[in-house]
């Protein structure tokens, strides 16, 4: 898992990783927001969802303490990270600010 994760975050295309859990209420609220963000930004970004219960080693390696936690990577570097739910507008603004 770790090598494929490294490949994903080393992309020159920005990647937003959503660490989530199926039992997490806020994660369920975030899912449609992420879909709208992807619809708005299209090919500018990849959005990948990672279930922390199925990927505990990866979650602890990334120091994910709560869900949802979103981390934005580009070229293997962490550009931004936040726990909790943001609105579509907030998320788009932060992504565009960090990747440009």
Of the candidates 8, 21, 24, 79, the residue annotated as catalytic is 24
Cβ–Cβ under 8 Å, residues 67 and 21: yes
- The answer to whether residue 27 is catalytic is yes
Cβ–Cβ under 8 Å, residues 9 and 45: no
Measured CA to CA, the distance from residue 7 to residue 56 in angstroms comes to 18
Measured CA to CA, the distance from residue 87 to residue 2 in angstroms comes to 30
Domains in the chain (CATH in brackets) are 2-99 (3.40.30.10)
DSSP 8-state symbol, 14: -
Measured CA to CA, the distance from residue 99 to residue 45 in angstroms comes to 9
In order along its 100 residues, the chain shows pLDDT tens digits of 568 999 999 999 999 999 999 999 999 999 999 999 999 999 999 999 999 999 999 999 999 999 999 999 999 999 999 999 999 999 999 999 999 7
Of the candidates 16, 27, 41, 92, the residue annotated as catalytic is 27
pTM: 0.94
Nearest-Å Rg of the Cα atoms of the chain is 13
């Amino acid at each position: 898992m770790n090598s494929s994760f490294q490949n994903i975050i080393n992309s020159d295309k920005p990647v937003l990783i959503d660490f989530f859990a199926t039992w997490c209420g806020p994660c369920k609220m975030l899912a449609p927001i992420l879909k709208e963000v992807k619809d708005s930004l299209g090919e500018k970004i990849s959005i990948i969802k990672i279930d922390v219960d199925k990927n505990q080693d990866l979650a602890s390696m990334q120091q994910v303490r709560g869900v949802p936690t979103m981390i934005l990577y580009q070229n293997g570097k962490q550009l931004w990270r936040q726990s909790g739910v943001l609105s579509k507008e907030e998320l788009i603004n932060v992504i565009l600010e960090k990747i440009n």
